[in-house]
Amino acid sequence: MLTVATWNVNSIKQRESAAVQWLKRARPDVLCLQEIKCQTEAFPSGAFEDLGYNCAVIGQKSFNGVAILSKFPIDETVVGLPGDDTDEQSRYIEAVLSLPGGGAFRVASVYAPNGNPVASPKLDYKLAWLARFKAHVETLLSYEEPFALAGDYNIIPRGIDVYNPAAWAEDALFRLESRQAFRRILNLGLADAVEACNSGGGQFTFWDYQAGAWQKNLGLRIDHILLSPQAFSRLRSAVIDRTPRSWDKPSDHTPVKVTLGM
């Protein structure tokens, strides 16, 4: 079995001990992190290497930043989303992992743009980034290999993935353009692991810090693990682990984990 997880930690400096605690508890083979909010050299690789993980990181001071922690050797990496050499935001890292027995598995940690406020260039950047991501997915699919694209997509796919759809209708996370962009990516042949395992609503991965959102379960599902057909055929389970959201000084996101039969 191969377990792949994703978690937007909202600052690894503030959530290092929580990440270590969760890794000891959940023991995923691979953990993709988003919003590490530190420069590459400041990432606490040692804490995770002590747990047996190899680290691939692309950081950025105070903002963004993504990482991949892998129990398996990392053979090669793609740092930054291809297609725009002028984009300086650290939102994408990809790695090919060597599995026991000689197999390989590709995984990416994805932190898509938020896009708010919508009456600003931020929404245009979000949609352009997603179009670039779609083009890269097409390239990955041409390899016909198992892979997982795991992360914070900042997109609510369906009305049942948000506590109050009407209240979010004009937010960049739920705007029609964002959902259409996400659907175009899925329609290339990817599977949303959580939706595939349980198509019902109320499966949230994010609760705002304000207005008692966590206590009232006013959540969103914006963290997704998308699988290639070769990985989806091996999907055994997909779960949202709400426990870390209840810990002291938590991230506003909680981990998602899939299990694949490899």
Active site residue 111: yes
* Cα–Cα distance measured from residue 56 to residue 73, given in angstroms and rounded to the nearest whole number: 11
29, 53, 224, 253: the active-site residue = 253
Calculate ∠ Cα 91-97-68, nearest 5°: 30
* Cα–Cα distance measured from residue 129 to residue 64, given in angstroms and rounded to the nearest whole number: 14
HEC string of 196-212 equals: HHCCCCCCCCEECCCCC
136 is in an annotated binding site: no
53, 111, 136, 161: the active-site residue = 111
Measured torsion, CA atoms of residues 119, 122, 127, 132, in degrees rounded to the nearest 10 = 160
Q: What is the CA radius of gyration of the chain?
A: 17
Write out the two tokens for 212.
């008692």
Active site residue 136: no
Active site residue 153: no
Write out the two tokens for 262.
């490899």
**Tell me, what DSSP letter sits at residue 161?**
G
116 is in an annotated binding site: no
29, 152, 171, 223: the active-site residue = 152
8 is in an annotated binding site: yes
171 is in an annotated binding site: no
Residues acting as catalytic residues: 111, 152, 253
In the annotated binding site for Mg(2+), the residues are: 8, 35, 152, 154, 252-253
In the annotated binding site, the residues are: 8, 35, 152, 154, 252-253
